[in-house]
Amino acid sequence: GENVEQHPSTLSVQEGDSAVIKCTYSDSASNYFPWYKQELGKRPQLIIDIRSNVGEKKDQRIAVTLNKTAKHFSLHITETQPEDSAVYFCAASFTSGSRLTFGEGTQLTVNP
Amino acid sequence: DTAVSQTPKYLVTQMGNDKSIKCEQNLGHDTMYWYKQDSKKFLKIMFSYNNKELIINETVPNRFSPKSPDKAHLNLHINSLELGDSAVYFCASSQELTPDYGYTFGSGTRLTVV
């Protein structure tokens, strides 16, 4: 079955620095890769996603890159702000699959 | 309007009791899910339904029984609650069986078994 590994499990940065979270997936048929942000006590919310026919996607301060050959994808947050502090989850879905498989999450802390 | 709503938000109960969590979505999505999030934040799928049909039934104790009366509702009933059932339970929905547009999550139900 599909397996998604996420690193690091915790990440602490200074305000204004960049943060990078990396995920690898096991099923080469995976074709959809969303990222979710979960603030303390809240629900996970979709912040950006990428499909297998695209190598990079950007939305203001966040970007996601995908390397299909290496089967890994990354979330990049630039100019981090304290409100970026949250748990971030990567996920993958493979063609004709019936679920998202989530990574184990990264606790990002942005220190003012 | 809340897209995916769960009730109750908090549930504190004693071991051995039976409880239910309800979920409703008004997005017109075909597929609904139950996920369990433990203290380490890991999101583990439990069940999914597509148009009232059970699609995914992961290795979950049979004390957990989902029920989908229609495609807009997916409820979770838990019998004989145990301490290890304490977690946050999230309902989610997706447009189609293959979640190519991601999930919309409900706000979660924090279950505490004492």
pLDDT given for residue A63 in this prediction: 98
What residues of B are in contact with residue A31 (Cβ under 8 Å)?
100
Q: How many CB atoms lie within 10 A of CB A23?
A: 26
pLDDT given for residue B101 in this prediction: 82
Per-residue pLDDT of chain B (114 residues; tens, 9 = 90+): 669 999 999 999 999 999 999 999 999 999 999 999 999 899 999 999 998 899 888 878 999 999 999 999 999 999 999 999 999 999 999 988 777 788 999 999 999 999
Residue of A nearest to B38 (CA): A104
φ and ψ of B85, to 5 deg: -80, -10
Q: Which pLDDT band holds residue A96 (cuts at 50, 70, 90)?
A: low
What residues of B are in contact with residue A96 (Cβ under 8 Å)?
98
Burial readout A37-59 (b: 16 or more C-beta within 10 A, e: otherwise): bbeeeebbeebbbbebeeeeeee
What is the count of residue pairs from A and B with beta carbons less than 8 Å apart?
A: 58
What residues of A are in contact with residue B107 (Cβ under 8 Å)?
42-43
pLDDT given for residue B38 in this prediction: 92
Selected for mutation to probe chain A from B6, B31, B43, B95 (highest A CB count within 10 Å) is: B43
Reported as a single tens digit per residue, the pLDDT across A26-76 is: 988 888 999 999 999 999 999 999 998 889 999 999 999 999 999 999 999
For residues B91 and B89, give the distance between their C-alpha atoms in angstroms, rounded to a whole number: 7
A22 contacts: CB under 8 Å, gap ≥ 6? A6, A7, A72, A73, A74
pLDDT given for residue B32 in this prediction: 95
Q: Which residue has the tokens 């996420």?
A: A6
For residues B49 and A60, give the distance between their C-alpha atoms in angstroms, rounded to a whole number: 35
What residues of A are in contact with residue B97 (Cβ under 8 Å)?
98
pLDDT given for residue A44 in this prediction: 97
> What percentage of chain A carries pLDDT values higher than 70?
96
A102 vs B55: CB contact, 8 Å cut-off? no
Is residue B19 within 8 A of residue B11, CB to CB? The reply is: yes
pLDDT given for residue A95 in this prediction: 61
Q: What amino acid is encoded at A61 in this protein? A: R
Q: Which pLDDT band holds residue A1 (cuts at 50, 70, 90)?
A: low
Residue of A nearest to B33 (CA): A99
